[in-house]
Each structure stands twice: as structure tokens, then as C-alpha cells.
Amino acid sequence: MALKGNVNMELDDLINTFESKTINKKERYKEFCAHCWYVFDNQIKSTKSEKMINKYNTMRQKAISYIVANEKRITLELTK
């Protein structure tokens, strides 16, 4: 995936940790979007440092933006 920095590594990790029993590609994509949101949300809730919270918020925003902008590529990755 053509994304810079830690977000690229984070997306690879998110794809690797994502599990779905859904066969439908569109549903699988929606579940992955929710999975990404909750993973970042858990990281944000588990830290007390304002700097780290801002970092995770930025990473989440960039990751979600990338996922939305590249829906076909993400869907293809999820169906491998």
C-alpha cells in the first residue's frame, strides 16, 4: 500500500489481525473499517499521554482517509 510512515505499517498490521467470517466483499470492507476504528480507539483509551493521544488520533484519521480513498485496493487485500 502506498502510504507513508507508521500508518502503512499500522495498516499492514490491521489487515493481518482482521478476521471476518463474512463472504460478501462490501460487508467485509465495512467490518474492516470498524475494526480499524476500534483498534485505534482502544490505543487512545489505554494511554494517558496527551501527546500519544494526538498521535493516535492523527494516525487513525490518516488510516481511515486512506481506507476510504482506496476502497477497491483494501477490498482486494482483504479477500486474499
- SS3 labels along 6-43: HHHHHHHHHHHHCCCCCCCHHHHHHHHHHHHHHHHHHH
**What's the whole-number mean pLDDT along residues 11-17?**
87
For residue 8, what pLDDT is reported? Answer: 61
Q: Give me the percent of the chain exceeding a pLDDT of 90.
A: 62
- Rounded CA separation 5/25 (Å): 28
pLDDT tens-digit series, residues 15-42: 889 998 888 999 999 999 999 999 999 9
Coil, strand or helix at 58: helix
For residue 48, what pLDDT is reported? Answer: 93
Q: Give the pTM.
A: 0.81
In the chain, where are the structural domains located? 5-15+23-78
